[in-house]
Amino acid sequence: MFDENALDTVDLSVKQDTLYLEESFTDLDMASIRRLTPVKPNGLKDKSRKQIFIGHLSLMTPQGPLPVQAPIEARNLKEAMDMYPEAMKSALEKMEAELKKIQQKQDSRIIVPGS
């Protein structure tokens, strides 16, 4: 349930020293890359901070789409596109390992009658 008093403790201000302009690039197939360009409060590029690239894809599962994202350590969009496959592969491997841990925890909770 929503706690009306919680609004009094939430900081809703815009953090002007960490603003980014967000752009999205897609191949209209599976690949999607977000470029976050640092900007100043006046909207001009902040050249003192680096761009950030984030790869995205959606895996279709029986329960619906599963979003996967991974940071890409690139200096420009071309590098980000070249690094995208490996970044997404690493993210998928990490997700698989996490799912195995969760499954192992669930398996250890199963109580077999008569044992």
What lies within 8 Å, CB to CB, of 22 at 6+ separation is: 34, 35, 36
Percentage of the chain modeled with pLDDT above 90? 68
Task: Give rounded-to-5 percent helix, strand, coil for the chain.
Answer: 35, 30, 35
| CA quadruple 86, 60, 68, 79: dihedral sign | positive
Q: Which residue has the higher pLDDT, 113 or 73?
A: 73
Segment 10-27 shows an average pLDDT of: 94
Segment 18-26 shows an average pLDDT of: 97
Quote the pTM value: 0.78
Task: Give the pLDDT score at 10.
Answer: 87
43-80 pLDDT, tens digit each: 999 999 999 999 999 988 899 998 999 999 999 999 99
Going from N- to C-terminal start, the domains of the chain cover 4-108
* Local confidence band at 109 (pLDDT 50, 70, 90 cut-offs): low
What lies within 8 Å, CB to CB, of 56 at 6+ separation is: 32, 33, 34, 67, 68, 69
**Strands, E, within 1-115: which ranges?**
20-26, 32-38, 52-61, 64-72
Task: Give the pLDDT score at 112.
Answer: 62
**With contact defined as beta carbons under 8 Å apart, do 80 and 55 qualify?**
yes
